[in-house]
């Protein structure tokens, strides 16, 4: 079941790239690079969440980073 979800995510990203790529002009190299990097970053995050659903989210990471600072400022 997990692998079918991973392949579905890959297929959706592939369809997104096939649809959007012709609409980007040749002179828009930065836009193409940004589009590809954001697409693959989203794909990576989606695969990680499918394979490991108990991963803590970004808010838990921020809380972990700034909790000592909050305790220091309360004193």
pLDDT computed for residue 54 by the predictor = 87
- Contact of 2 with 50, CB cutoff 8 Å: yes
pLDDT computed for residue 23 by the predictor = 87
Which of 39, 44, 46 lies closest to 24 in space, CA to CA? Answer: 39
- Dist CA 65 CA 55 (whole Å): 16
pTM for the whole thing?
0.71
φ, ψ of residue 8 to 5 degrees: the values are -65, -40
- DSSP H or E segment with residue 33: helix 29-51
Residues of the chain with pLDDT under 50: none
pLDDT computed for residue 22 by the predictor = 87
């Amino acid at each position: 079941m997990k692998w079918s979800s991973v392949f579905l995510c890959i297929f959706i990203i592939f369809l997104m790239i096939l649809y959007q790529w012709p609409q980007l002009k040749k002179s828009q190299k930065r836009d193409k690079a940004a589009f590809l990097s954001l697409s693959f970053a989203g794909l990576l995050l989606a695969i990680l969440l499918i394979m490991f659903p108990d991963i803590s989210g970004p808010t838990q990471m921020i809380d972990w980073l700034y909790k000592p600072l909050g305790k220091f400022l309360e004193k």
